[in-house]
A and B are shown apart, each in its own frame.
Chain A
Amino acid sequence: MSTSTIEKTVHKGNASGGGLARRQNFLTGLVGGIIFAWLFWWIARLVGDQSSRSFSDLTATSVTLGWLFGFWLGIGALNGPFRWLIGRDQTREDQLYYAGENLGVSRYWKFTTDHKVVGVQYIVMTMVLLGAGGILAMAIRTNLITPGNHFVNQQVYNSFISMHGMLMILGMIVAVAGPWANFVVPIMVGARDMAFPRLNALSLWTLVAAAALLLTTLAVGGLPVGWVILAPITNQAGVGMDFFAMAIVVFTVSTTVAGVNTLATVVKMRTKGMTFTRLPIFVWGSIIAAALGLYAFPYFLLAEVLQLMDRNFQTSFYVASGGGTGWLQANLFWMMGHPEVYVILLPAVGAIFEIAAVMSRKPVFSYKTAVGGMVALAGLSILVWAHHMFTTGWAPTLGGPFMLTTELISIPTGIFFLVLIATMWRGNVWFRLPTLWVYGFIFDFVIGGVTGIYLSDIPIDNQFHGTMFVTAHFHYVFAGSVLFGAVAALAFWYPKVTGRFLNETMGRISFGLTFIGIQVTFISMFLSGLKGMPRRYSSYSMLFEHTNFITTIGGYTIMAGMLVLLAAVITSWKHGEASGPNPWHANSLEWMVPTPVPLENFDVLPVITEDPYNFAEKVDH
């Protein structure tokens, strides 16, 4: 690993030296979190009014706050600001320590500021979230394999569907942007790190804190309310609801911090000559999603803060008997919820464009149209939220306008297909692992997109809303498209992270199983929906027997595919075929730096003279 000359002169090799702060890691974070959670619990019980009907909610909310602060303190997230406060700001030596220099593998367990470490941590977090969501999916599908099966008890089943939804959504939000906006975007734009390295670590570990709260929900009474956590049924849930609401508040902090960081990095830290039209297209996908996330997630935060106030302080934002309405919650949720679809989708689309161009040895077709399409989609996405509420009875006269904005989304979505196919058309398409997942993305996204058109139409939505048709539609978008984009990105950039290829054979087996599994699972789920099976049912009429059985078999197939992928990721990390620094012979900057990437990425910051898609004059490294 090479280090810059500045580091060599300043750094005196002291990884062993210096106080308690240097012993902090995930474990001390965990201990700190638990101690503070207990402390806050104890205080809440001491000062709280035990006769109040909010007593248990207040206690639970205190515990979650204690957990967050304790975890932050324990892992060292607050060291930097604290040192600054007492007038002893961190030295460069400290900063290099926190960047993980010479810490080896242990840096992955610490509050490490190096964007590449954070990227790897995000890969692991994505796999944890999607893995947990996947296990719940398997439990749900097993329960639904026959009409009256009770593999899990009904209350637990109801918690599982909510938790499956939330874990998968959170996992999808970070699946592409988390690992790759952190690992490769700073290098792609020619920066030595993210604009705010400490905030970068903060976003990751805050996500860990949020995920812990979310998973704890299952242990404290669960979340038997459905994943859209619609009020007023939330008022019937126990303290699991408080844990969940706080998990979302904490998660929003994490995404906001991450989004600001990505945007600031790309806007302010591009190297000389890296104009906006020379940015690799994945960077565009990342920053548009980051900006959209900054708009969208505060609604979710607000929705859950109001929820917490209703529960803890007896306000009645969502309580009809107190003058509130569940429609307020539904509006806030979907004002977040629809833009969030594109926060999830756009980084995947950007990655797919990037991979398609490199693998077919052609520039991205009509780069500006592609960027324009992404911007248009992001813009439209904030105007369509009420199509999730066509059948709620809220504002029927707005049905027409929301139908209009929703159907307009077809146009920018169509641009994506044009750009993607025209990019690969008459290219010399290199059939490696990432390419397969790109084709899988195209196949599934057509189905996900076309079925969305039906749902945008109110007379049809009156029939399909709340049925398995909707479930199948958005699973084609998320599991079929975004997941495929995420795996394509993983296969594409894995060599940059590890210096090794993701095992091609296992990757292909995984692709085959997952691709077939997705079609079997969700086409049969469409049929369940057409036949009239509502969502979120734990048992169902004999009418839906066959299609559900097929769906469950398909679900198991997806699981098999994902397990093979997991095995490939783990085994290739140490034993994969060596790849060299630029295995795909691409031109963007992340491939120009050595692998493993040095701590500060570049010895000398490069100067850019053209976009990275000129493969004809490519210089091999």
Chain B
Amino acid sequence: MSQSENKKSLVGFYWTWGILTVVGVVIGLWAPGRFMPASMSGNMHLSILTIQVFTVCAAPVAAGIYAATLHNIRHDRWRGEGVPPAAEAVRGNTTLVSAWLIASSVLTVFLLVWGLGALAVDNSSTGKNPLVVDVTGQQWLWTFHYAGTDVNTTQLVLPENREVQFRITSDDVTHGFWIAQMAVQVDANAGVFTEIHTTPDKLGTFDIRCTQFCGLNHSSMVTTGEVVSPQNFQKWLTSQPATI
């Protein structure tokens, strides 16, 4: 085939596009489960699901751009000597631009609608008998106070399947309170309370890591907590020494 015929054949482009899309979708569906911490809350399920949905939407776009670029490199590369001659001047294509704008707008609106819906679910609260935990960050330690008790501890223990409301503040600089298995995160600011809530739905240990740079030992401001059954939680809570 001559170069000009080659340029017009888009079969290779469509194949590449298709294959790359499939690769993108497969990676997008597989990677969160493979690499992210095991989910221990509805918020985390939702985050992972949203990541997967967004990847499925983004994969064809990214794959299309890559396929077009590869096609361009393969077929439009000037192989002659010296300066390439002028190519056919295409100064615009209203149909293409409109189609592109409409397609990208539709995708964006879908992501937005999904995102706002997910945000509403993410923020929704059962409101039923939540466990309230006051979290205080200080350099470089978290302390937890269980509301309605005298329990102050550096160990966070949560009951399974009961909503927890965290009320978070800081004694000094800003810290970031994040539970890596539950996809909840908010800063601890001096002088104000910020709130997040989640419902742990799986037994086991989880990681709390400070996500806001807080000085010398920022990277040591990590700790683990545990989700236990409601009975064990009551046992644990009553066994804690009361502190002021």
Interface residues of A (CB under 8 A from B): 154-155, 158, 224-226, 228, 230, 232-233, 236, 320-321, 325-327, 360-363, 365-369, 391-393, 396, 399-400, 403-404, 407-408, 410-411, 414-415, 417-418, 421-422, 424-431, 439, 442-443, 446-447, 450, 453-454, 456-460, 462-463, 465-467, 527, 530-532, 534-541, 585, 613-616, 618
Contact = CB atoms under 8 A, between A and B. Distances in A.
Contacts of A459: 43, 46-47, 50, 115, 118-119, 121-122, 183
B90 to A, nearest CB: 6
8 contacts: A155-B216, A361-B84, A393-B186, A393-B192, A403-B119, A426-B7, A459-B43, A459-B47
A456 B212 CA distance: 19
Nearest to A618: B86
Given A233-B213, A236-B173, A459-B46, A367 B91 contact: yes
Given A532-B207, A536-B213, 11 more contacts: A158-B215, A232-B173, A320-B192, A361-B86, A426-B7, A428-B86, A439-B69, A458-B122, A530-B32, A532-B36, A537-B218
B211 A615 contact: no
In order of increasing CB-CB distance, the 10 nearest A-B pairs are A466-B211, A393-B194, A320-B191, A226-B213, A428-B84, A537-B219, A615-B86, A532-B180, A530-B35, A463-B183
Most B-side CB within 10 Å, residue of A236, A404, A457? A457
Contact of A411 (B47, B78, B101, B222): B101
Contacts of B46: 459
A446 B91 contact: no
B116 A535 contact: no
A429 B90 contact: no
Nearest to B7: A426
Interface stretch (B104-112, B126-134, B225-233): B104-112
B89 A362 contact: yes
A424 B214 CA distance: 48
B238 interface: no
Given A230-B213, A429-B84, A446-B66, A320 B190 contact: yes
Nearest to B219: A537
B132 to A, nearest CB: 17
A391 B211 contact: yes
B84 A430 contact: yes
A408 B110 CA distance: 11
Interface size class of B (residues with CB under 8 A): 35 or more
A17 B1 CA distance: 70
A161 B110 CA distance: 37
A396 B186 CA distance: 10
Given A320-B189, A459-B47, A465 B211 contact: yes
B78 A393 contact: no
Interface in B74-93: 76-78, 83-93
A363 B93 CA distance: 13
Given A391-B186, A411-B101, A454-B54, A614 B89 contact: yes
A410 B104 contact: yes
Most B-side CB within 10 Å, residue of A422, A460, A541? A460
Given A391-B185, A446-B66, A450-B62, A532 B122 contact: no
Contacts of A236: 173, 215
A459 B58 CA distance: 18
Contacts of B32: 530
A321 B222 CA distance: 27
A391 B218 contact: no
Interface in B43-78: 43-44, 46-47, 50-51, 54, 58, 61-62, 65-66, 68-69, 72-73, 76-78
A96 to B, nearest CB: 37
A114 B58 CA distance: 47
Nearest to A232: B173
Contacts of A424: 72, 76
Contacts of B195: 393
Given A158-B218, A399-B119, A408 B189 contact: no
Contact of A410 (B90, B108, B216): B108
A538 to B, nearest CB: 5
B187 interface: yes
Contacts of B214: 233
B68 A615 contact: no
Nearest to A324: B191
Contacts of B115: 403, 407, 456-459
Contact of B91 (A158, A366, A453): A366
A466 B212 contact: yes
Contacts of B219: 534, 536-540
B146 interface: no
Interface in B3-32: 7, 31-32
A225 B180 contact: no
B96 interface: yes
B152 interface: no
B83 A430 contact: yes
A326 B215 contact: no
Contacts of A393: 168, 186-187, 189, 192, 194-195
A362 B90 contact: yes
Contacts of B68: 421, 425
B69 A463 contact: no
A417 B104 CA distance: 11
B107 A410 contact: yes
A226 B219 CA distance: 13
Nearest to B58: A450
B191 A365 contact: no
Nearest to B57: A453
B199 interface: no
A536 B218 contact: yes
A504 to B, nearest CB: 15
A467 B183 CA distance: 12
B184 interface: yes
Most B-side CB within 10 Å, residue of A320, A399, A415, A614? A320
A620 to B, nearest CB: 9
Interface string B165-203: 000100011101010100111110111101100000000
B119 A360 contact: no
Contacts of A535: 211, 213
Contacts of B178: 391, 465-466, 534
Contacts of B145: none
Given A233-B174, A466-B212, A417 B89 contact: no
B58 to A, nearest CB: 5
B185 A530 contact: no
Nearest to A369: B97
Nearest to A225: B213
A399 B112 CA distance: 12
B154 interface: no
Nearest to B184: A462
B157 interface: no
A34 B189 CA distance: 40
B118 A463 contact: no
Contacts of A360: 76, 84, 87
A21 to B, nearest CB: 47
Given A361-B86, A616-B86, A422 B96 contact: yes
B213 A391 contact: no
A460 B47 contact: yes
B240 interface: no
Given A457-B115, A458-B115, A530-B35, A463 B47 contact: yes
B193 to A, nearest CB: 8
A457 B108 contact: no
Contact of B97 (A418, A429, A460): A418
